[in-house]
Amino acid sequence: MRIGVLTSGGDCPGLNAVIRSVVHRGTDVHGDEIIGIEDGFLGLIESRARPISHDDVTGLLTLGGTILGSARVQREKIRWAVENSAELAARLGIDALIAIGGEGTLTAAKLFSDAGLPVVGVPKTIDNDIDATDATFGFDTAVHVATEAIDRLKTTAESHQRVMVVELMGRHTGWITLTAGMAGGAHGILVPEKPFDIEAVARMIEDRFRRGKKFAIIAVAEGAQPLPGTLRFEHGEVDRFGHQTFGGIGTRLALELENLLGKEARPVILGHTQRGGTPTALDRVLATRFGWHAVEAVHQGAFGHFTALRHTEIHLTPIADGVVRLKTVPPDRWIESEAVL
Ligand code: F6P
């Protein structure tokens, strides 16, 4: 078979490991030809693709980013592509498509699949917010980067008796913040799922200092929100791809805490460092397994499905199950994180 593969949406450590795995399994075991589509759905629309062989994927297991490139695409363009999907696939000469991406990509993959294109999805996102899979690759790497940052911030915070506010990725869900916050022993963990009260955060820090502690670390997700009626803070606008933009909560929080506490506070925005670089061992293995199962799904004709991790097994799951809602941090998980503060 000629199988197209594309990576779409924000990049994430482990994408290259999936591509490598697809090439290994497809070419070695099934005799497939793998066609790498450039820049996500944009390459499908513009017929930009190239065959990828064993040689092209040598060394990819450890390489961050994606050799195929990625892009966000406006919804109208996707709608057009869906209507013309048969012709676009014919132009590239592909019999099936493996689409690797987050919630937006999987939603698009479902539209293509409903329109008759044989598509299998592979979920990726550092945010770990895709429903129906226990984990996505990239998340573990992001958590490691964020945890290391918190560890490092502790020593400088203590030297200067400061409050450090570290803003982590997570627009609608706080998985990275919760996990790295707990792993790094942050004193405050603020996630989008649970609006925070700035006064309560300040009281907690004051209490810490009163007990003789010399610093405090607050981990805040970029999408965290103040409780209504407390701090006034507006997140950004909607960008041209229809996504709400975020940014600024960490800086604002540091400023407000400095004013409320009369102590020095510094914001640290970790941003895209959480998405870059080599994937952790866990992410390499998950990405490799997803690639393996995606090729098998194509050969079983399990189109309209995506590879999902449940416990230790990978299940082919209807894409629809993964895109109905985001997997948010449930209340019992915040409660556990509060217990370790
Ligand atoms: O969806 C993953 C993510 O990393 C979010 O956590 C973050 O808000 C967003 O991507 C940033 O994406 P961009 O590449 O558009 O800046």
3-state DSSP of the chain: CEEEEEECCCCCCCHHHHHHHHHHHHHHHHCCEEEEECCCHHHHHCCCEEEECCHHHCCHHHCCCCCCCCCCCCHHHHHHHHHCHHHHHHHHCCCEEEEEECHHHHHHHHHHHHCCCCEEEEEECCCCCECCCCCCECHHHHHHHHHHHHHHHHHHHHHHCCEEEEEECCCCCCHHHHHHHHHHCCCEEECCCCCECHHHHHHHHHHHHHCCCCCEEEEEECCCCECCCCCCCCCCCECCCCCECCCCHHHHHHHHHHHHHCCCEEEEECHHHHCCCCCCHHHHHHHHHHHHHHHHHHHHCCCCEEEEEECCEEEEEEHHHHHCCECCCCHHHHHHHHHCC
Residue 245: predicted pLDDT: 84
168 within ligand 1 shell (Cβ under 6 A): no
Question: So what's the pLDDT on residue 339?
Answer: 58
Domain ranges across the chain: 2-137+279-322, 142-275
- What pLDDT sits at residue 341? 46
Q: Cα 205 vs. chain centroid, distance in angstroms?
A: 30
Question: Which class is domain 142-275?
Answer: alpha beta
Phi and psi at 52, nearest 5°, equal -120, 130
Cα separation, 58 vs 131, in Å, equals 32
Distance (angstroms) between ligand 1 centre and the Cα of 124 equals 12
Mean pLDDT of the chain: 96
Residue with CA at minimum distance from ligand 1 atom 15: 10
pTM listed for this prediction: 0.96
Q: What is the pLDDT of residue 236?
A: 82
* The pLDDT of residue 62: 98
What is the sign of the dihedral through the CA atoms of 268, 272, 278 and 281? positive
pLDDT at residue 240, as a whole number: 81
Looking at ligand 1, which atom is closest to the CA of residue 171? Answer: 8
State the pairing for strand pair 2-7/33-37.
parallel
Ligand 1 pocket check for 11: Cβ under 6 Å? no
Beta bridge partners of 6: 99
Which CATH architecture best describes the domain 2-137+279-322?
3-Layer(aba) Sandwich (3.40)
Q: Check pocket membership of 10 for ligand 1, CB cut-off 6 A.
A: yes
Regions in the chain scoring below 70 on pLDDT: 339-341
Q: Which of 55, 61, 64, 47 is nearest to 13 (CA)?
A: 64
**How much is the pLDDT for 72?**
87
Active site residue 127: yes
DSSP-derived letter for residue 196 is B
The pLDDT tens digits of the residues spanning 221-256 come to 999 999 999 999 988 888 887 778 887 999 999 999
- Ligand 1, closest atom to CA 170? 6
**Same CATH fold assignment for domains 2-137+279-322 and 142-275:** yes
